[in-house]
Amino acid sequence: MVGIALNGIQKSFGETRVLNSIDLQIEEGEFLTLVGPSGCGKSTLLRIISGLEAQSAGSVTIGDRPVDGVRASDRDLAMVFQSYALYPHLTVRENMMTPLRMRDLGFWQRLPLIGRFLPGASGKLEGMRKQVNETAEVLKIEALLERKPGQLSGGQRQRAALGRAMVRRPVAFLMDEPLSNLDAALRVHMRAELTELHRRLNTTFIYVTHDQAEALTMSTRVAVMMDGDILQLDTPTNVYSDPANLRVASFVGSPKINVLDGRLDRDGVVTVMNHRLQRRVPGATPQAVKVGLRPEHLRLVPEISGLGEYVGTVRHLEHLGSDVYLHVVLSDGTTTAIVRSDPDHAMGIGHGDTVRIAETRGAAMIFDAAGDRLPFEPVSESAPVSSKTQEVA
Ligand SMILES: Nc1ncnc2c1ncn2[C@@H]1O[C@H](COP(=O)(O)OP(=O)(O)OP(=O)(O)O)[C@@H](O)[C@H]1O
Ligand SMILES: [Mg+2]
């Protein structure tokens, strides 16, 4: 197990800068995911770590060893790509043997037919076969070893590709969207398998995806990238519930966070659609702000109750079995909010209906005009506050 450190990594293709200046410490044994929209530079960064691409500036250290100028094949890393890159004419066993043959056998020993009779070759081959069998057992692909890639399903092919990467016992795995060719159900299944594999191998994984759900479910930490920068490096829970800025908040979460226009006054009070939020922005300067509320922090309240902070008209309903998402145009006529509801509460509500919506107190996040998150704190009272009041504030 080794950690990997990136210091000031920059990359330009001609005039185009794709990585600005990336600093990143990847801990030993960590499952770190680089996630971000298409074109933000994830694959480029992974290829720089692997040595397949050279950085324009900055340095990569693997363990204690600076690897700038070290060839990809000498970095002791394993790459797994979206396209499995298995040799179609070789069986799974032969595919898995290939990296070992390249590493452990000399040129003459690798020759077909006569190579295996040369001194030392047969012992090495025996060791390699053992390694392949052990790896196949971990991945549960023993029964597939004699098949060729064309005779495998997508998931089996992906496991074979993982097997080929694993046999060398690399110091870290680098994976670039390895699940994106699989159908939705298999992808979810393979997520669980990769998590389990990571736990079992206890090796550093660096995983690239543009799928935030994949990032949140598997990772120890997530680096959210946009336009060649890491905007936030944090645990999956924190990037979701404590995003550093509006871009991270909007990228992470499905359906997306609702963003409402608000007004911050000099007392730190935020007003959104004539409704004053409970918390305060400390040391505030009056300005226009964006108010972020996740769909699960909004709920329907009965219309006759007169409760609820927002009123709107239902434009669309998404029935997902356990949840219903209502797309509601709010009373300003332009803002659409998505509200999560359980099917019982949404029963009988249809397109065009007027609904009242309440927010979970204290759940709103406030962002300034640049999209940076502003602190938003419960009102401190001089008198002791009961724990119940603190909870809802
Ligand atoms: N060899 C290259 N020459 C020129 N531009 C390149 C090259 N490789 C990548 N780019 C550009 O660099 C930017 C980042 O590309 P990269 O492949 O790293 O994105 P990504 O985040 O992996 O996207 P995706 O999610 O679509 O795979 C893109 O704008 C891309 O067009
Ligand atoms: Mg990519």
- Which residue's CA is the nearest one to ligand 1's atom 2? 13
* pLDDT above 70: percentage of residues in the chain: 91
Distance CA 237, CA 240 (A): 5
Of all residues in the chain, the percent with pLDDT exceeding 90 is 67
- Picking from 108-122, 212-226, 320-334, which range would have the lowest pLDDT averaged per residue? 108-122
**Are the CB atoms for 277 and 364 separated by under 8 Å?**
yes
Which of 361 and 104 is assigned the larger pLDDT? 361
How far does residue 35's CA lie from ligand 2's centre (Å)?
10
| Separation CA 246–CA 118 (nearest Å) | 64
Is the pLDDT assigned to residue 165 strictly greater than 50? yes
- Identify the CATH number of the domain defined by range 4-246: 3.40.50.300
168 CB near ligand 1 (under 6 Å): no
Pick 379 or 387 by higher pLDDT: 379
User: Please, are residues 304 and 354 in contact by the beta-carbon 8 Å criterion?
Assistant: no
> What is the reported pLDDT for 302?
82
Q: What is the pLDDT of residue 131?
A: 87
* From 44, 55, 181, mutation site for ligand 1 pocket: most ligand atoms within 8 A of C-beta: 44
Confidence band of 382 (pLDDT split at 50, 70, 90): low
Q: Is the CB of 39 under 6 A from ligand 1?
A: yes
Specify which residues 24 forms β-bridges with.
6
- Per-residue pLDDT band at 140 (split at 50, 70, 90): confident
Query: Atom 28 (ligand 1): residue with closest C-alpha?
Result: 39
Q: Which of 182, 238, 252, 243 is nearest to 210 (CA)?
A: 252
For a substitution probing ligand 1, which of 16, 46, 224, 225 has the most ligand atoms within 8 Å of its CB? 16
Q: What is the number of the ligand 1 atom nearest to the C-alpha of 53?
A: 1
Whether the per-residue pLDDT at 105 is higher than 70: the answer is: no
| Alpha-carbon span 42 to 34, nearest angstrom | 6
Q: What are the residues facing 292 on neighbouring strands?
A: 259, 365
Q: What CATH class is the domain 255-392?
A: mainly beta
For residue 41 and ligand 1, the question of a CB distance below 6 A is answered with: yes
**Model confidence over 338-349: pLDDT tens digits?**
999 999 988 889
**Ligand 2 centroid – CA 18 distance (Å):** 12
Instruction: State the distance from the centre of ligand 2 to the C-alpha of 27, rounded, in angstroms.
Output: 23
Banded model confidence at residue 383, pLDDT cuts 50, 70, 90: very low
Question: Which atom of ligand 1 is found nearest the CA of 16?
Answer: 5
Beta-strand relationship, 287-293 and 275-280: unpaired
Which ligand sits nearest to residue 16's alpha carbon? 1
- Does the pLDDT at position 108 exceed 80? no
Judge whether residue 122 has pLDDT over 90: no
| Among 156, 249, 206, 170, CA closest to 45 | 206
Residues forming CATH 2.40.50.100 domain(s) in the chain: 255-392
Is the pTM higher than 0.85? The answer reads: yes
Quick: pLDDT tens for 211-270. 999 999 999 999 999 999 999 999 999 999 999 999 999 999 999 999 999 999 999 999
Ligand 1 pocket, mutate which of 19, 33, 43 (most atoms under 8 A from CB): 43
Side-chain half-sphere exposure of 357, counting CA atoms within 13 A: 31
Residue nearest to atom 18 of ligand 1 (CA): 41
Q: Which two three-digit tokens encode residue 25? A: 């410490």
Pocket test for ligand 1, best of 9, 10, 12, 13 (most atoms within 8 A of CB): 13
Strands 287-293 and 365-367: antiparallel
Element (H, E) at 58: strand 57-62
Element (H, E) at 331: none
Q: Is the pLDDT of residue 58 over 60?
A: yes
Q: Which of 150, 184, 128, 2 is nearest to 77 (CA)?
A: 2
Peptide bond into 286 cis (omega under 30): no
User: Looking at residues 8-26, what average pLDDT do you find?
Assistant: 97
Q: Is the CB of 204 under 6 A from ligand 1?
A: no
For residue 392, the model assigns a pLDDT of: 41
Residue 381 has pLDDT above 70, yes or no: no
Candidate from 65-69, 118-122, 318-322 with smallest mean pLDDT:
118-122
**Residue extent(s) of CATH 3.40.50.300 domains in the chain:** 4-246
Residue pair 349/317 in contact by the 8 Å Cβ criterion = yes
> Which long-range CB contacts under 8 A does 240-248 form with residues at least 24 apart?
240/216, 243/365, 243/373, 244/372, 244/373, 245/367, 245/371, 245/372, 245/373, 246/290, 246/292, 246/367, 246/371, 246/372, 246/373, 247/371, 248/224
Let me know: does 258 contact 293? Beta carbons within 8 Å. yes
What is the Å distance from ligand 2's center to 230 Cα?
15
pLDDT digits (tens, 9 = 90+) for 257-306: 999 999 999 999 999 998 999 999 999 899 999 999 999 999 999 877 77
Q: In this model, does residue 120 exceed pLDDT 80?
A: no
Whether 38 lines ligand 1, by a CB cut-off of 6 Å, is yes
Ligand nearest to the CA of 13: 1
Rounded to the nearest whole angstrom, what is the distance from the C-alpha of residue 266 to the centroid of ligand 2?
A: 45
